[in-house]
Structure 1
Amino acid sequence: MSQKNHYTGLTDAEVSESRRKNGVNLLTPPEKDSLLKRFFEKFGDPLIIILLIAGALSIGISCYEYFSLGQGAGVFFEPIGIFIAILLATGLAFIFELKADKEFALLNQVNDDEPVQVIRNGNAMQIAKKDVVVGDIVILNTGEEVPADGELLEAVMLNIDESTLTGEPVCHKTTDPAEFDSEATFPSNHAMRGTKIMEGHGVMRVLAVGDKTENGKVFEAAQIDDSVKTPLNEQLDGLGDLITKISYGFAAAIVIGRIVMYFINVPEFDWVSFLAFFLQTLMVAVTLVVVAVPEGLPMAVTLSLAYSMRRMLKTNNLVRKMHACETMGATTVICTDKTGTLTQNQMQVAQTNFFGNPSDDILIEGIAVNSTAQLDLSGDKAQVLGNPTEGALLLWLHKRGVNYLDVKDKAQRIEELPFSTERKYMATVVKSATGKTILYVKGAPEIIFGMCKNTAGVTRQEVDAQLLEYQNQAMRTLGFAYQELADGDKTIENNKVAAANLTFLGIVAISDPVRSDVPFAVKEVIDAGIKVKIVTGDTPGTA
């Protein structure tokens, strides 16, 4: 993004000193339960509990048959088989999930390695989230997660989702004391670690990292189990309850029925014979409960899920809990992002089509100042930081030998309107290096064209035809417009461009090649009966 002020940030020496003094930007992981406790947790499955009860009752029956009735040792095969099934089911689940936990320990490091835009040594660059230190100048853009607690130095229409900390889905942030919310949980000019930028952009100075952040305090105080039962979990729970109720119901019916029959068929009541008959009746009822339990079901479920878990692991898909495999198997629709998921996320300007021979100064300044992206020029090759579409425009300037930072520094920013999916455009008002006040607008070409009074002789039909040609080549398109402002001219009102004398500059087509493995992957899931939906802000033609 672009800043109203030029920041230099920390030097390498200051970064080292801050890290030594204030620590690293990592949360201390919670203590894990012992292996023994984690193993015994596997016995909490409803079917396993039923099997344990059935196994205990089966042991009682076998002992009665062996010692009282004089039957052979074969009567113990039933309880032994039940407990072998229990140990196999729980043991396999424990072993596979233990392996998954080790893989997840590595995977969790990915979150700490997420790139964060900072300014150090006077240059914009990307560093890992874990490397952010107190005092860093961090650039915040829409869709990003705030990496640490900090004080905002700039905030342009900045709204943050603080639901992870306060429950508030949208909190307006500002650096203007007149707009501060006195009832807000956190100051209106502060951004907190773990919250998400929903709209706008800003710049902040880091005040706290790691465990000392508010997110770290919450993480330390309460380890929240946010696990959700899968459909299979719910179905097995219901099956366990159903088997229990039915078997107990039949057992109770047998006990009552046999007692009634005893009093009907035996004319004289005798306590000794009745107790012997009642004990035999209980044995019959317990036997019914035991045989009603499907000993092989937990084993079959565990084996199938373990096999699914192993297959997913071979394709680099980690599953922490085995039952989650069933949720993946029940997928009917996949909603996928386009940029960086289906495409290579290597956007570059493929074609430009400007009308009316606009001056290079207008084009260059319009692209440089009306942008939320940055270029990391510290290496041999310029790297895009932030929005890849806008970064492609800055790369285009860079390849033409234009230093976009110099252009931005020479233009004084007066007013900004960040891009939003509702408006589909962004705008910036600057005091140009030429001394003129200029409004620059950039966004969806069809919308930008409709806002313009001056179209350089091009018609809507010509623009639509050009857009269709680009979109049929799967290219993203951007339209540009500007207006030199006089005193009293409208610019931005009610979060919309209100200027009435905009001039349409033209269209830029940006390409992003499809990843080579995408066609096969999409065909495979479609053949499996799964629908694929592309979630994108582009036009249907581009998608």
Structure 2
Amino acid sequence: MAKRRPSRNSHVTARQQDPSGSGTGPGDAGDPAHHGLPVHEVVLLLETDAARGLDQEEVARRRAQFGVNELPRSQRAGIARKLGRQFNNPLVYVLLAAAVVTVFLGEFLDSAVILAVVLVNTLIGFIQEVRAEAALDALHSLVRTHAAVMRGGERKHVPSEDLVPGDLVLLEAGDKVPADLRLVRLSALRVDESALTGESDPVAKDEVVLPQVTPVADRRNMLYSGTLVTAGTGAGIVVAIGGETELGEIHRLMGAVRPVATPLTLKLARFSTTLTVAILALAAVAFLAGLAHGERPGQMFTAAVALAVGAIPEGLPAAVTVTLAIGVRRMARRRAVVRRLPVVETLGSTTVICSDKTGTFTENQMTIRALWTPSGWYDVTGSGYGPEGHITPSAPQHPAPQHPDGRNLAAGVTRPGGAAMPGGAAHPGDAALPKDDALQWSLLGGAACNDASIRREGAGWQVRGDPTEAAMLVAAGKAGIKVQDFLAANPRQAELPFTSERQFMATLHASTLPEDGGTVFVKGAVERVLELCAHEMDGQGAGRPVRRHAVLSAAHALADDGLRVLATAMMSLPAGSGPLSATELRGRMTLTGLHAMHDPPREAAAASVKACQRAGVGVKMITGDHVRTAVTVAAAVGLAADSAAGTALTGADLDAIPADRLPEAVERATVFARVSPEQKLRLIGALQSRGHVAAMTGDGVNDAPALRQANVGISMGRSGTEVAKEASDIVLTDDDFATIEAAVEEGRNVFDNLTKFIVWTLPTNMAEGLVILVAILLGATLPILPTQILWINMTTAVALGLMLAFEPKEPGLMSRPPRPPDRPLLTWALTVRVLLVSALLVAGAWWLFEHEVATGASVAQARTSAVNLFVAVEVFYLFSCRSLTRPAWRIHPFGNRWLLVGVLVQAGGQLALTYTPLMNGLFHTAPIGADAWLRILGLALLASLAVAVDKRLRRRGF
């Protein structure tokens, strides 16, 4: 049979041929997915050798054909284009126009300040865009490693970029998988695929041929780029490189996803557009009115521009930036690091949080919670990989059936090699271990038949190997068992590694006595270990016939609590025994106990879920783990989920739901298990199509596209991959769901404070513009000059308005429902209040100006009084704006000390403006008397009372 050259389409994964795994796709109608082919067919298809690999000449030819093993880089906008995009905002246009106008007016300092505001905001936006693009760069670095390959029958180490389809890659524990591989041989190979699939436990691999429709997470005969080998060895043929790998598909998804604009960005854009139109309309009216009064066009143009300057809220961009920055600092104190400023407020608008399970709702640290021996039940306290905790007897969950005649039958179990019985000594600071020999042998067996290791790093513990085995090491440590002492005296001589067919691991340990052949420890699946056992150990270390029904009943009771259960057993081999084998063990082992473990829910998770639900924020769990595990954890944290009721859905369920019904189904469900990266994207999109502002948490490479698609992407700082962190908007330094709830609270406070600033600043800007407009319409003298308007706007925005950014959270913040995403920045009630204060300012300024002139004051003095009236009303109104619903006298006067500092600074500035000759000359002001100050303060107090009445009347409108 003639060999054919592998076409490019022959080197594709099942996903690339057809998302359903059917094995057909564009340009490849016949080749099935590699996980559905026997090894010899994969070898034939890729024209390689499963023992010798490719020769160097063929490698060079294929590299020229297929390229290097790296993810494709997308086209990026240049620096000039990125900077230009930051100016695409109506408010920025108005500010730039204001800067030009102030130059024409000769106010170069004000022009420079306005330009500085624009440039600062432009720089912030530019930095945000550059950092967002780093998500794709992180994917490139993820696959940069070295690989051991067979080429021409020789073992070589090459950069992972040099791999080509058909290469034979050799792997061992600790290696990162450099490309998508079809396994050709292996030994006890286990792989951590959590970063790609979300599966919390390392996956045992084998070479069995799988159905074409097998999803990625269940393809046991495949290894995927970016995953990590935790145990065993293996060899695989490269079937996909670079952008054709499963990791490449995630890269493509990320490149196709455009970050969603935040609610604040959208609302500010609409607000800026409306404000721009209103300002230009007022300026046009003023210009036309002046012409109608016979004024010169040039003079009227200057006056119209002055009106526009007065109406522009120059401090708004700075206020937004400062308020968000303060929110960022507060969130950092609560262990949430913000990467993009606007998302601080977006969290406050969040209507649904889609959270990963592992590490967010749970500790991401496998922990033994219960132990069972033929003599009793035991609880294990403490969580994580630290040795702190106790082992104490507990009430049996099922009554253990007794042997019919109560006999204590010896099973020929001897103490191995004369070694001292393990345990029995109290753990430092803990109560003594219960006197149950079976418990002590079970704990020692689980720790000795073990390839994991734990070491302390800084304030935490670092695990190398299988988390399940690490949990058994920790349990032995809590019992005070000196595992290393036993291993030093009884070193491992042989082992049967865990395989998916065998489903148990066995180790043989040497004896110190010549008449003993050593001790065998076994741990594994309960049913498989039971097949090896003829006896069980009682509390005194003696043997008796194994009670299979009691063992299985205990295992089922533990499994019903969502715990993963492993059995332990042991035996002493006589001297001269043959090599260790499964056949040699069958029917000769003695069962010592059961270990029940899980990844425990975080202590604060349930309270945080309840707080979110009370605040009207929906919480959903999206995980790559099994549905039963997900439902168990969901119940523990307060999320009701049931597969039969449609509130728990798997990835297969989602694929079966028609597209038009998907949003409704996603809305109803609370748990989504065994979902792929594409399905996570669909879930987020479905929620957004229902009008939700969605926050998404994740830690793996598989989460990155959905993190970028979500309104707020939240990654895990401790357990998260760099890809997930770079794709996210917020990084949790403690990986805790409770931190998300705290961040939502801070986000709501940020939006509150931004709204307070806008409600505070708009009346002044509107009134300044209207004062000039009225003067033009009446053909009268201007009560305030453009330079005085700029003084008011710039000084009060910094000294007064920005102080609202430090306003603490109001009571009941997390008892409100989320703001509807389509709700405008200002409600009708707040709009009425803005108009009310504006009208009072216009009327008060005109009355005061005319009164001062009528009573003999100069025009400069009258204008000075009007300027001080504007500032005085702003000061009184500032205290009212500390709460948009409660009256000012019900707010703690010293709750915001920065506000008091700002008022004192502004008062000093006003006194300097009024009484210093330098300021009088610059701003055309003049000293005024005490009677003028009394009138100013009286009008400001009147405006404050009017706002209090409005709050009283309109409280229900907020």
TM-score in terms of structure 2 length: 0.31
Larger-gyration structure (1/2): 2
Give the structure with the higher percent strand: 1
